Structure 1
Amino acid sequence: MPRRIKKILQALISFLVAGVFLYLAFKDTKFSDLWESLTQVQYVWVVLLVPVGLLSHYVRGVRWSYLLRPVKRGISHRNLFSAVMIGQMMNNVLPRLGELVRCYGLGRSERMAITSVLGTVVVERILDLLIFALMICGVVYFYPAVLLPFVENTDVVRPLLLFGSIASFLVLILLFFKGETIFMILKFVQPIVPRGFREKYERSIEGFLSGFKIARMSDTFLPILLLSFFMWFMYAVSLYMAFLAFRDPILLNLGFDAAIILLTASTIAFILPAPGAMGTYHSFLTVALVQLYGVDSVMALSYSVVTHEVGYIVTTAVGLYYFLKDHLHISEAEQAAQQSAKP
């Protein structure tokens, strides 16, 4: 399939996913009721979400600098932050394109090879995936009530969740100190991967190995780990602060544990191929608030709209500002990636 047609199909699928989930989220809601709910929001708290969100992106950039230390030390925090925001902005428009553009932007501004920068992003994704797995297993283990809508006897599931938390943490440690071991395990299971996915699987694990070799994370284990947890903590803080923006008694009485549970739901929403988690975020958070905490459906959707749109608008605006200021072009990023992939 020609590359151009493949890109068009991927974009169409992304917008289709967003459209389906937007329909599911809003189909039973009267917009007059939604508007009335939004007009009652205390927007002082909404404004405070902006610096919290920007701080979390800044921390992501600082963590990235530790992954890039073997390539270059003393990378400008301004360039790191701008690259992260540009990537977020691009993902709000076309999923998966953001990683390429942010790597190209940082590589150009700091005069680094795009292959080196892209390699660290592979490791960064694995880090976030493992921390997310650790978080979701830990949260559900300590707050098994969230499983009640889906599982009758939570005591049966809790040992599995505890095992999942321990396994995720061990893999996280192994990634830092014995990354080659993980690579060997992934290589070992390659023959059982279906043929249609085998080539892509092989490229993925090769990308992991190259990223690991670049990052050499055993030297920066502690700061990367602390920054990772602090970044995820800030994500949860923003969701908790949003509770205070609503006059709904149920939302006001929700604790930080509820924010962490919503964070797991929102993370799953961002994994799906919808631009900026449009629709998927609204659907997942609304269902979580209604099913787990008994929040009114209109109020739950209002919460989803406010928290999503604040993040979406801010990241798009700031990312677009840096994209224009740094004179970046998507075509140049794609061309640089293609050239770097050549032997």
Structure 2
Amino acid sequence: MLHPRIKQTIQVLLSLGLAIWIFWFLYRDIEIDTLWSQVQSSNWIWIGFSLVISLFGFWLRGWRWTLLMDSKEGKPISSGDSYHAVMVGYLANLLVPRAGEVARCGILSRTNGISIGHLLGTVILERSIDLVFLMGTIAMAFLVENQLFISLANQLVNLEFLLQKATQNLPIILGGLGVLVLFLYILFRKFRQHSLILKAQNFLREIYSGIKGIARLGNPWGFWISSLMIWVIYFLTMFAVSKGIASTANLSSGEVLLVMVMGSIGMVAPVQGGIGTFHALVAFILIQLGIAEQDGKIFAAIIHGTQLVLILVAGLISWIYMMQKPAWNKPVRE
């Protein structure tokens, strides 16, 4: 049995190795001079604007987080401290995937005396809501660019042939679906006490309970509107960078939305900062939109690179600021 620290180190090194390999495989044919030339020719007013928008999005995420904190312990958390904790979390994610959630909770627990358990509960709810909005954004992108979705699906399978076969064998398919549903029901009934089933049920129950609990917040409308605005800001960030690069300046809003969706999926992958996966998915969808392969890869490198620098600089500033704050000492009752 491996020691937990050794196991964690191996996992981190494997994820980092995978990220580096994907990045190298994607950019092995692009010369540094070509990339640098594209960087120099880009409109940095637009790209600078995208960074300003991103910073506001980070602050808004911190402000939204404070709306979920109703613990009576410790001292109240300001939106400024919450923002700095969020940035420390983003910084930690560059080192260890998924470590940011624990890092930002830990640093606020240190300075404000609120239990990590309570803070982690708010983060889980926050991530659950973000997942709901991501699914909604994917659905919106499908509605806006449905022809492209169908075209991509046709590249993988012949949809017309499948539809024809399904129509011809409809009774068999319906019967098969009925048998499948019955089988899954029996399987669920038999193994409903299995740990995986119980964990899944508990996770869904917590999400449902958390969503219901949002209505009891002091500012529920503020929470939902800020959640929506965070995704609008993601879109505006991608849109601003697309305007700043000549090869993508003519993309429509719907196409930029599709690129944003692919980038968001790439960032969900368990690798440091979405390195490699973000680039691969964004470049892939841009190629499908008619952008030259090299230009698509360079676009992905520029937007990810600028965001990476922003997180490094702002995250380090936030980490230094929060570490200089005195640790919370629980008042002693007389």
Common fold by TM > 0.5: yes
2:196 to 195, 198, 214: 198
Q: Report the CA distance between 1:324 and its aligned residue.
A: 2.2
Matched letter for residue 231 of structure 1? I
The answer to whether the aligner puts 1:110 opposite 2:95 as a matched pair is no
Q: 1:164-191, CA deviations, whole angstroms, 9 ceiling, x for partnerless residues?
A: xxxxxxxxxxxxxxxxxxxxxxxx9697
1:255 corresponds to: 252
Q: Deviation above 4 Å: which 4+ runs of structure 1?
A: 70-74, 188-195, 210-215
Report the CA distance shift for 1:78/1:256 in structure 2 as closer, same or farther (over 3 A): same
The answer to whether the aligner puts 1:228 opposite 2:227 as a matched pair is yes
Report the CA distance shift for 1:208/1:125 in structure 2 as closer, same or farther (over 3 A): farther
Report the CA distance shift for 1:194/1:276 in structure 2 as closer, same or farther (over 3 A): farther
The correspondence of residues 166-181 of structure 1 with structure 2, limited to 5 A, is none
Report the CA distance shift for 1:18/1:191 in structure 2 as closer, same or farther (over 3 A): farther
Report the CA distance shift for 1:67/1:145 in structure 2 as closer, same or farther (over 3 A): same
2:301 corresponds to: 305
Report the CA distance shift for 1:191/1:50 in structure 2 as closer, same or farther (over 3 A): farther
CA distance in 1, matches of 2:273, 2:201: 23
Matched letter for residue 227 of structure 2? S
The correspondence of residues 208-223 of structure 1 with structure 2, limited to 5 A, is 209=206, 212=209, 216-220=213-217, 221-223=220-222
1:40 corresponds to: 41
Q: Report the CA distance between 1:320 and its aligned residue.
A: 1.4
Matched letter for residue 237 of structure 1? L
Report the CA distance shift for 1:85/1:310 in structure 2 as closer, same or farther (over 3 A): same
Segments of 5+ residues of structure 2 without an aligned counterpart are 164-186, 328-334
1:12 corresponds to: 13
The correspondence of residues 59-74 of structure 1 with structure 2, limited to 5 A, is 59-69=60-70
Q: 1:114-144, CA deviations, whole angstroms, 9 ceiling, x for partnerless residues?
A: 1000011111111111111111022202321
2:317 corresponds to: 321
1:149 corresponds to: 152
CA distance in 1, matches of 2:202, 2:46: 43
Q: Report the CA distance between 1:71 and its aligned residue.
A: 5.2
Contact 1:91–1:275 (CA<8 Å) still a contact in 2?
Answer: yes
Report the CA distance shift for 1:74/1:325 in structure 2 as closer, same or farther (over 3 A): closer
Q: Return 124-133 or 70-79, whichever deviates more.
A: 70-79
CA distance in 2, matches of 1:244, 1:233: 16
1:78 corresponds to: 80
Secondary structure in 1 matching 2:244:
coil
Contact 1:56–1:234 (CA<8 Å) still a contact in 2?
Answer: yes
Secondary structure in 2 matching 1:7:
helix
2:25 corresponds to: 24
Contact 2:71–2:118 (CA<8 Å) still a contact in 1?
Answer: no
Provide the aligned C-alpha RMSD in A.
Answer: 3.1
Q: Report the CA distance between 1:9 and its aligned residue.
A: 1.5
Given the two structures, how large is their TM-score scaled by the length of structure 2?
0.79
CA distance in 1, matches of 2:189, 2:263: 31
Matched letter for residue 38 of structure 1? V
Secondary structure in 2 matching 1:295:
coil
Given the two structures, how large is their TM-score scaled by the length of structure 1?
0.77
Report the CA distance shift for 1:261/1:214 in structure 2 as closer, same or farther (over 3 A): closer
Segments of 5+ residues of structure 1 without an aligned counterpart are 158-187, 333-343
